[in-house]
Structure formats: structure tokens, C-alpha cells
A and B are shown apart, each in its own frame.
Chain A
Amino acid sequence: MEIKRLRIPLSENDVRTLRIGDLVTFSGLLFTGTEVFHKRAFEQNVTPPIDFKKMNVMAHAPLSIKRGASGEWEPMQWDKFAIMVTAGSRFEPYLPRLIQQLGLRAVVSKGSMGEQTKKAMAQFGCVHLTENSRLDKPGTADTVKRVVEAYGYDEVGPFEATWVLEIEDWGPLVVDIDAHGNNLFDQIEQIAIERLNKTYAHFNIPLDFRYSMALPDSKEESYYSR
């Protein structure tokens, strides 16, 4: 399968031409964001001094990088720098608005995002990508050319800092939400749900099965719902 090699900053046209299932690599400067970045940007409109027009790709990645005794950046777990994305779904409360607010064109995490992010991505021209492997080839990773900046490192530590990284051919990443309202994982799930109904039948579980005791926060108990 052809891999599309894209350079950051991405244009709207770049991302509108992508479709779910496409394989992509990125080169250029990207930034990372986890809890602290999202919360501050969302609640206080405070972000590190980044020109988001020039740097419009965000990775949900807590980096294992520390400042060494000599003041230089050093990898914590391996002998090279590597990007390790984390589950993006936990940023779903923030991301839909941040896509518009920051003008993001691509966001990379492990797994996928929810309905509101999908809508915002279609509206403003942004895609979500997942690492085909959770593991950025530890120890052999050579995609991070340089650590450019670590905003907030001293205050919030390495995992919450906003890192700016120069990367070369990071990927292949898989487009799982495109800018046209499609989600790759939802398509896979639809097939799985059809098959699950056969599995219920295999175990003689009726489709209208109801548990005798409800959970505190559940309304619908009849069959699988996400």
C-alpha cells in the first residue's frame, strides 16, 4: 500500500484528500499535548508560545525524555528519542473545540476519538491518525531528529510538558478519522456487532437479555451499546 509522505505544516487540501485507511508519514516540526496542555488551552485559553499555523500537527504523547546533568536532553528508556502516543479518547472533552481554536490539521494518538471530534474534523478540515503500532520501534526509533523545545518541563515534568520535536518520516500512521465524517474503527465495529449477534446465538443468549440488577449509571441494558 502506498504511503503518503506529508510535510508539516499541512494545508487544508492535504488533509481533505486523505481517506480512512490511508497510510501517512509526517516530517517537520510537531508538538505534543497531554492533560495539562488540553486543560489550559480549553479552560484558560492559555497555550505555549507556538505558531500553530506553522505547526498544525499535535501528538498525544507523554515523552520519556529527561534533562541530563549537562543540560542536554536524554531519552529515559531507550538510547534514542521516540514518540509514544497515548490513548486519545481521554481528551475528547477538549479536542473538538481545540481543533477550531488552534487550527489543527492532524492529531495523532493511540486509538480513536469520539463523535464530537469527528464532526469538528469534518467541519474544519482535520484528520485523526493512529499509530499502526503502539510501539515506535523502541531502541531503534530514529524518527525524532531533534528536541526543539520542552514548554513547561520544569513546572509539570516530562509527561505533561509540551514538546516541540523535529521529525523525519514518522510513521506509517493510519488515518482513522478523515475530514469527511468517516471513522475506520466504527466500520470495523459495525462488522463486529453483526458477528456478535451470532455469538450471542451460539451461547443461547437472547438479544433482549436483561440483567436482574442494573448498574448505577445505566439506562439501556438490552444489548451491546458503546
Chain B
Amino acid sequence: MSEMLVTKDTLNEMMYKATTRAACIIPRDCRQAIENGERREETEVSKGPLSFFLEACDAGERGRTLCPDTGWQIFWIKMGENVRIENGVSNIQEAAKQAVARATGEGYLRPHLVHPLTMKNPLNNVGVHAPAVYIQFDPAIDYMEIVSVCKGGGGELFGGVQRNLAEADGKKGIIKFVLDCFMHTSYSGKTCPPGVIGIGIGGTTATSAQLALEAACLRTIGNRHPDKDIAELEDELLTEFNKLGIGPMGMGGKTSALDVHIEYALTHFAGISVSFNTFCCVIRRATARLDLSGHIEYGDAPSWNYR
């Protein structure tokens, strides 16, 4: 496989453009799901949030941020073994910080990330573990893909819950936890429903939380897990969530979730860590893929299949 050198400038450009695109341009799968939801809703109050949301998507096309709350910036970077980074791989971290600071300065991101105890605000969303950068190497690919996500506060703060179960609680325990989380977190529209629910099952607490986050952020609406049992559970939970009547922004209605994505990891035979995560209805993700020819393709569907 021929080597590919990614220059500092290319890296910076990919990260910055993916981030501004994430903040402004709604992914096609999300827009489609929202449009379907709007058609399905019957009352003015349940249609309202979805109609306004579609207006915001149009404004986004003109370079306006989809939602004021641009949340936490997260980058997932996937690259083949052939990818070399100018001045070394650790430059990815620095490029991410620069991209976020620039996008914040230009008004694409709200400067609201603060020190958790002192509330001190650097006003550029950059600091300790901010932005988050996750890097994966995949020997099967010969390109580099950067996924930029703005993870809004509502979905993350109100829609993130974790619990460790005993193996004896089994599938019933897992499903009960997920159902209760959904009820609790979507009450009064705290998580900005209808969103995408990510569920992580198994692994350490960190693994299960990460899987739930990735399930919510990286898989497109309609995508199903390759494991048939898991895929069936995804369908079943989506149907059941939408029967509850919570509706857009919790105002009542038929569209309470856009999709359910589940990821699992092998777990200890004594217990199961279960994590619940929510991406609010304003799904903000964008991709930048650099191929061997040096061409950068910007899009919204991560090629996330590394399990």
C-alpha cells in the first residue's frame, strides 16, 4: 500500500471545514427523518418543533449554526497504516485545538466550555481534554477520515446515564434500564427529542460509555448492527419508544426518537455495564475524507464499522 503524507495545512483544513460543516449543515439522514416525523405528527404543537427545526436547517445552508448550543466538540479519526502525518501523529491533537479555536472565533461554535469547578471560560472551547480526539487505525483502509461532531448539551447532560448490572439481571435488566432512561431523560424535552439513542452494553464502564456515545454520534439513521439479535432489539426499542407519546420536544406526539443504535463489547461473566446516550434532534456530524489522490471529500456519513 502506498504511503500518504498528510501535511499540517491539509489536516488543519479538514478539521476546520468538518467542524464548521457539522455546526451548520444537517446530515441528509437526519433531515429525512425529521421530515418524515413532521408529516407523521398531527397537532400544531407536536409539528411545531420539527417545522422550526427544518427552517433552521435551511438557515444552516446559509452558514448559520443549526442550534446555539454547539456543545462539546469531538473528533473521531480513522486512518490506514499507510497514513503519515507531517511532523508526527501527535500533531492531530494540536490541529484539533486550532480548528476548534478558529471555528469558535468565527462564530460557528458558542464559546461556552468552562472549567468544571471555577467556571473559568477560556472563550475558545479549548483546554484540558477539549476538544476530545479519538484515533483508530484500520489496516483494511488506505485513506484518512475525520469525523467532527458537536455534541449538544441537552442530549449529553440530560441524556447520558450509566449503570452496572449483575449478569443475573440479564436482558430484562438491560431493557428495563434503557426504557426507564428514555422516559426520564425525554421528560419535558430535556434531551431535545426526537433524537438518536445510543446504547452501549458490556465492557468496562469506560468502554460501555464510549460505545453508547459512538452509537449515538457515528451511525447514520436507519443503519443496523450486523449482529441480527442486536439489530432486532434496535428495531423493537425504536418502535416501543415511539409508542410512548412523548413527542417532539416532549410536547406529546408520535415521534419521540429518530433511531436506536446499540453497540456491545464482551463483558465480565459477573456483570454488564449499560450506558445510555442521546444525540439531540439537531444531529451535528460531518466527515472529511482524504484519499490517496489527495482529494478531500466532505460528507455526513462516517464509515464506522470497526468493531
CB neighbours of A192 from chain B (8 A) = 183, 244-246
Whether the pair B53, A140 counts as a contact (CB closer than 8 A) is: no
Instruction: Return the chain B residue nearest A204 by Cβ.
Output: B172
Within 8 Å of chain A (Cβ to Cβ): is B141? no
B positions within 8 Å CB-CB of A? 44-45, 48-49, 51-53, 55-56, 59-60, 62, 64-69, 107-108, 110-112, 119, 121, 123, 153-154, 157-158, 163-166, 168-169, 172-173, 175-177, 179-180, 183-184, 187-190, 192, 240, 243-247, 249-252, 271, 282
CB neighbours of B192 from chain A (8 A) = 110, 134
Within 8 Å of chain B (Cβ to Cβ): is A161? no
Assign chain A's interface to a size class.
35 or more
Instruction: Determine which of B55, B119, B158, B180 lies in contact with A140 in the assembled complex, contact meaning CB atoms within 8 Å.
Output: B55
Whether the pair B245, A195 counts as a contact (CB closer than 8 A) is: yes
CB neighbours of A176 from chain B (8 A) = 188
CB neighbours of A138 from chain B (8 A) = 56, 59-60, 64-68
Instruction: Return the chain A residue nearest B249 by Cβ.
Output: A134
Whether the pair B154, A135 counts as a contact (CB closer than 8 A) is: no
Whether the pair A21, B45 counts as a contact (CB closer than 8 A) is: yes
Bound Cα distance A62, B64 (Å): 18
CB neighbours of B66 from chain A (8 A) = 135, 138
Within 8 Å of chain B (Cβ to Cβ): is A69? no
Instruction: Determine which of A87, A159, A224 lies in contact with B112 in the assembled complex, contact meaning CB atoms within 8 Å.
Output: A159
CB neighbours of A196 from chain B (8 A) = 179, 183, 244
Interface members, chain A 172-226 (any B CB < 8 Å): 172, 174, 176, 184-185, 188-189, 191-193, 195-196, 198-200, 202-205, 209, 211-213, 215, 223-224, 226
CB neighbours of B179 from chain A (8 A) = 196, 199-200, 203, 205, 224
Which of A40-48, A52-60, A75-83 lines the interface with chain B?
A75-83
Whether the pair A76, B107 counts as a contact (CB closer than 8 A) is: yes
Instruction: Return the chain B residue nearest A83 by Cβ.
Output: B68
Whether the pair B245, A188 counts as a contact (CB closer than 8 A) is: yes
Report the tally of A-B residue pairs with Cβ distances under 8 A: 172
Whether the pair B56, A212 counts as a contact (CB closer than 8 A) is: no
Instruction: Determine which of A21, A199, A209 lies in contact with B243 in the assembled complex, contact meaning CB atoms within 8 Å.
Output: A199
Instruction: Determine which of B121, B168, B250 lies in contact with A185 in the assembled complex, contact meaning CB atoms within 8 Å.
Output: B250
Bound Cα distance A179, B188 (Å): 18
CB neighbours of A82 from chain B (8 A) = 68
Bound Cα distance A35, B153 (Å): 16
Instruction: Determine which of B165, B172, B245, B252 lies in contact with A205 in the assembled complex, contact meaning CB atoms within 8 Å.
Output: B172
Instruction: Determine which of A21, A62, A189 lies in contact with B187 in the assembled complex, contact meaning CB atoms within 8 Å.
Output: A189
Known: A111-B190, A199-B179, A213-B166. 5 other contacts (CB 8 A): A35-B119, A130-B249, A134-B189, A196-B183, A209-B173
Whether the pair B190, A87 counts as a contact (CB closer than 8 A) is: yes
Instruction: Determine which of B107, B119, B240 lies in contact with A199 in the assembled complex, contact meaning CB atoms within 8 Å.
Output: B240
26 contacts between A and B (CB under 8 A): A77-B65, A77-B108, A77-B110, A82-B68, A84-B69, A87-B157, A89-B190, A110-B154, A132-B49, A137-B59, A138-B65, A138-B67, A139-B62, A139-B64, A159-B112, A176-B188, A185-B187, A191-B252, A196-B183, A196-B244, A202-B240, A203-B240, A205-B179, A212-B166, A213-B166, A224-B184
Interface members, chain A 87-110 (any B CB < 8 Å): 87, 89, 110
Q: How far, in Å, is B262 (CB) from chain A's closest CB?
A: 14
Interface centre among A135, A159, A196, A226 (most CB of B within 10 A): A135
Within 8 Å of chain B (Cβ to Cβ): is A157? yes
Instruction: Determine which of A77, A157, A188 lies in contact with B107 in the assembled complex, contact meaning CB atoms within 8 Å.
Output: A77
Instruction: Return the chain B residue nearest A89 by Cβ.
Output: B190
Instruction: Return the chain A residue nearest B184 by Cβ.
Output: A226
Bound Cα distance A130, B251 (Å): 10
CB neighbours of B252 from chain A (8 A) = 188, 191
Within 8 Å of chain B (Cβ to Cβ): is A25? no
Within 8 Å of chain B (Cβ to Cβ): is A11? no
Whether the pair A211, B49 counts as a contact (CB closer than 8 A) is: no
Whether the pair B249, A133 counts as a contact (CB closer than 8 A) is: yes
Instruction: Return the chain B residue nearest A75 by Cβ.
Output: B107
CB neighbours of A130 from chain B (8 A) = 188-189, 249, 251
Instruction: Return the chain B residue nearest A109 by Cβ.
Output: B188
Q: How far, in Å, is B280 (CB) from chain A's closest CB?
A: 8
CB neighbours of A189 from chain B (8 A) = 183, 187
